[in-house]
Structure 1
Amino acid sequence: MKTLTSLGLLLAFGGAQAAPQTVDCGRLLDVKAGVWRERVSITVDNGVVKSIAPMSAAAGNIDLSAYSCLPGFIDMHVHLTGETRKEAEALRAALTHNPADTAYRSVPYAERTLKAGFTTVRDLGAGDMLNVALKQAIASGAIPGPRMFTSGKTIATTGGHGDGSNGLSTTFGRAVGAEGPDRGVINSAEQGRQAVRARYKEGADLIKVTATGGVLSQARNGQDAQFTDDELRAIVSTAKDYGFRVAAHAHGAEGVKRALRAGVDSIEHGTLMDDEAIALFKKHGAWYVPTISAGRYVADKAKEDGYYSALVRPKAAAIGPLIQATLGRAHKAGVKIAFGTDAGVFPHGDNAREFAYMVEAGMPPLEAIRSATLSAAALLDQSSNLGSVEPGFAADIVAVSGDPLRDISVLQQVKFVMKAGVVYKQP
């Protein structure tokens, strides 16, 4: 990731600093050791965990003695500046909403996500610099929300998944403007380099490319490869020059493999990956971010008349149901997996359902939790700051009733949320 300056550290981890306090936990999950620490007190100062000791139960402490505490969760694939809606409603919004309208509507999405226990997210695509602005508003303390790492505008090819003019008439397509590198639409290796530099200029933290077609774009195919090898190599090599990691949306096997050979850091969705793709994941050390929740949601909505357009509906019905089984294969093969949901494709705040879907696919509960803590932090290059409750780490703490190692569904009912020492939700 880009080197964080003092201002960058404030924006990534800061906002107003909380007063020193102590949190008493009935038990705390040590995600590294995979064991519960019983009856502990966590001392927090200046937004950071200072110490963990046997429970003191002193007056003034935050009393979570009846709860199980865990690190705040990290969702590696969200879109906080939008949310699913029926086709007719989406079209009306596209024609009538200005960027300011979209920005205001994103505020409750961010708060719902935080209060669901997700203290950090990776936002993978929004136009008009909306996700960059939302990140800065949250970091300054102006609005509540998770800590954000953003890709700015997705990089796509003409007509590809992420081209904002797809499906529009020529009149409205012209109104969108001549798509080009500044707007994240490229058609050559050189334009790919320009698009990366444009994301750097607008304040992105990473790069996202749409290596294949997508489910919800107004285009015929949801799985075809949409970048040439030289375009992908140019984007990845330029991204590395700027300290960016690269996430690649990809459903079809050929697009997955091209992206992995080019050196991307993560594949999002990966629905139709084959054995060769799995071998490339392991060869290159890339991460897989499954987004089962989105797949399940679009498959269900494809059965509802009028929810998706005639172009989208068959793709949602065909691709959506496959992601969960793909995760099971990838996990069994030893591919590195980081938690991600594609929230926005389904309602924000329901992110924790992904844990149950991962367990259904064959991941043990502890591994599912690690995917949203230690693994996600590693993919963010934040392993020394996030993903664990221990001295020196950001004071991101959530609490639930019950034992998620026995019943993963309890993570869908978070009772307490602290981010960087600030309490946003409590019993």
Structure 2
Amino acid sequence: MALVLCLATAGCASRQHPAAANRWLLTGTRLYVAPDQPPVDNAWVLVSDGKIEAIGSASDAPPAGLRREDACSGGVITAGFQNSHVHFTDPAFAGAASRPSTELQPPLSGMTTRFGFTTVVDTGSDPANTGALRQRIERGELQGPEVLTVGSPMYPENGIPFYLRDLPPELLRQLAQPASAEEGRDIVRKNFENGAGGTKLFVATPQGHGEIRRMSADIARAVAEETHSHKGLVMVHPTDPEGVSAAVQAGVDVVVHTTIDPPKSTWSPELIHQMVERHVSVVPTLQLWGYELAKAQVPAEVTERIVGDAERQLAAFSRAGGQVLFGTDVGYMTEWDPTREYVLMAHAGLTPMQILASLTTAPAARWSASERRGRVKPGFDADLVVLDGDPAADVRRFTHVKCTFRAGKLLFVRAAADRAGVDTLAGARPSPGPGGPLGP
């Protein structure tokens, strides 16, 4: 299927092209324009000044005389990926405002662009530190993804979860626990003033010994209303099915986990219907559950059953037409490689193209960015991923990233000589991997 698009048509570049250095060609064995369109074999993508100028197939000769990205050619091309649940709480990112870029670049690349992520959503870190990291990326001091953030999370009154109680007292005092609807609204306003683009709510938090502390329904609704008035999204940590239901009733946009509490946790057909009807998206984070249960030394056969419950929630939600967003909770979770997440999503019944949608078109739509990213389309940002193999044959290949581009700029390249295991990071030394204890 030929997809050559004339450069003179609307949406393509003008006749006055940018300088040759900003105009280049990428070729691939296969191009996924979007998950809902047929792939194009032996394809090419023409990038001009950070935008996609044109696309075509082998039967359509690309413009001659252009610089070619040879190190990145010959793979499977897709739109850039979004990880909709990350944290920058690893000590490797501490002091982002003043830390040398040579120290920040390896973990930044290793956690994000190494795996094709051109956009990430920070769902709860130190807002000032994340803001500094984002500013340095945008200034070009660091090569990284677009960073979206929800600022400081909010917890139920007197409801800090038990697993955060060992944080330093000065940090614990900063964790917001609104006691009234107006206090919640005020926190939202301050978060947006400080650069947040949404709000993170913990509507239910485990206190230990089976106790769950829940956020007042009027506070949750007020926070959601205030967030929406700023055109932001509300993301919710639900803890259990009752928390999911409370989130839906409050008018939230994204539930950032499936649930494994209580034992044999299930989402009823009625709850799933409400979620789909009210356009609530879900970030499954299936890989997280095995990670957490391993820390608790839960036997493998028990872990498998518990993770299976979460898989069934995802399967039912997806079958009902719910919008799934890819996310791993990386940064809290020290396992940076998301391969297991792809495998578990496929085991839950999602097709490779449904998984690709969760990485591309779905998050672009959820974050009101469908007119500039999520597809390989003329006029869109040149956020591109080149894979070494076709994920339609094996979803593990979503992590076989050869190159990552954001707005036409090469952020990550795995050199041909290094594919046996050594990564060459664009503008950085090889990633040392995660290290040290994590914050919330």
- TM-score, normalised with respect to structure 1: 0.80
- Encode CA deviations 1:182-230: one digit per residue, 9 max, x unaligned: x53212111111110110111111111111226xxxx416883521110
Kept in 2: contact 1:74–1:339 (CA 8 A): yes
Q: Identify the residue that residue 150 of structure 1 maps to in structure 2.
A: 149
Larger radius of gyration: 2
Kept in 1: contact 2:144–2:411 (CA 8 A): no
Q: Which of residues 279, 287, 301 in structure 2 aligns to 1:285?
A: 279
Aligned with 2:45: secondary structure?
Answer: strand
Q: Identify the residue that residue 372 of structure 2 maps to in structure 1.
A: 385
Name the CA shift for 1:259/1:225 in 2 (closer, same or farther; >3 Å): farther
Deviation at 1:37, TM superposition (A): 0.7
Kept in 2: contact 1:25–1:41 (CA 8 A): yes
Deviation at 1:257, TM superposition (A): 0.8
Kept in 2: contact 1:52–1:390 (CA 8 A): yes
Aligned with 1:120: secondary structure?
Answer: strand
Query: How large is the RMSD of aligned CA atoms in angstroms?
Result: 3.1
Q: Identify the residue that residue 197 of structure 1 maps to in structure 2.
A: 189
CA distance in 2, matches of 1:101, 1:161: 30
Q: Which of residues 192, 215, 232 in structure 1 aligns to 2:220?
A: 232
Q: Identify the residue that residue 312 of structure 1 maps to in structure 2.
A: none
- Encode CA deviations 1:79-123: one digit per residue, 9 max, x unaligned: 123279xxxxxxxx9xxx878799987653321111211111111
Deviation at 1:286, TM superposition (A): 1.0
Aligned with 1:224: secondary structure?
Answer: strand
Q: Identify the residue that residue 249 of structure 2 maps to in structure 1.
A: 261
1:30 aligns with 2:30: no
Deviation at 1:289, TM superposition (A): 0.9
Name the CA shift for 1:149/1:222 in 2 (closer, same or farther; >3 Å): farther
**Identical columns (%):** 28
1:421 aligns with 2:421: no
- Encode CA deviations 1:312-367: one digit per residue, 9 max, x unaligned: xxxx9997664333212222333221111111232364134322221011101111
Q: Identify the residue that residue 405 of structure 1 maps to in structure 2.
A: 392
Q: Identify the residue that residue 62 of structure 1 maps to in structure 2.
A: 69
CA distance in 2, matches of 1:292, 1:333: 19
Kept in 1: contact 2:23–2:66 (CA 8 A): no
Deviation at 1:238, TM superposition (A): 0.7
Q: Which of residues 234, 257, 272 in structure 2 aligns to 1:246?
A: 234
Kept in 2: contact 1:80–1:106 (CA 8 A): no
Deviates more, 1:48-57 or 1:292-301: 48-57
Kept in 2: contact 1:68–1:400 (CA 8 A): yes
Aligned with 1:35: secondary structure?
Answer: coil
Matches within 5 A, 1:25-424: 25-55=28-58, 56=62, 60-63=67-70, 64-82=72-90, 107-112=105-110, 113-161=112-160, 166-167=165-166, 173=169, 175-176=170-171, 178-179=173-174, 183-213=175-205, 219-220=207-208, 224=212, 226-271=214-259, 272=265, 274-275=267-268, 276-303=270-297, 322-347=309-334, 349-424=336-411
Name the CA shift for 1:103/1:246 in 2 (closer, same or farther; >3 Å): farther
Name the CA shift for 1:82/1:418 in 2 (closer, same or farther; >3 Å): same
Number of aligned positions between the proteins: 379
Aligned with 1:325: secondary structure?
Answer: helix
**Which blocks of at least 5 consecutive residues in structure 1 are unaligned?**
1-17, 85-92, 306-315
Aligned with 2:74: secondary structure?
Answer: strand
- Encode CA deviations 1:241-274: one digit per residue, 9 max, x unaligned: 1111111111211111111111101111131452
Q: Identify the residue that residue 432 of structure 2 maps to in structure 1.
A: none
Aligned with 1:22: secondary structure?
Answer: strand
Deviation at 1:163, TM superposition (A): 9.3
Kept in 2: contact 1:47–1:422 (CA 8 A): yes
Letter in 1 for 2:356: I
Kept in 2: contact 1:189–1:230 (CA 8 A): yes
Q: Identify the residue that residue 11 of structure 1 maps to in structure 2.
A: none
- Encode CA deviations 1:362-395: one digit per residue, 9 max, x unaligned: 1011111111110111111111111111111110
CA distance in 2, matches of 1:152, 1:268: 15
Name the CA shift for 1:249/1:273 in 2 (closer, same or farther; >3 Å): farther
Letter in 1 for 2:79: P
Q: Identify the residue that residue 21 of structure 1 maps to in structure 2.
A: 24
Deviation at 1:167, TM superposition (A): 3.9
Name the CA shift for 1:414/1:165 in 2 (closer, same or farther; >3 Å): closer
- TM-score, normalised with respect to structure 2: 0.78
Name the CA shift for 1:103/1:386 in 2 (closer, same or farther; >3 Å): farther
Name the CA shift for 1:29/1:225 in 2 (closer, same or farther; >3 Å): farther
**Which blocks of at least 5 consecutive residues in structure 2 are unaligned?**
1-20, 260-264, 416-440
Deviation at 1:128, TM superposition (A): 4.8
Kept in 2: contact 1:81–1:102 (CA 8 A): no
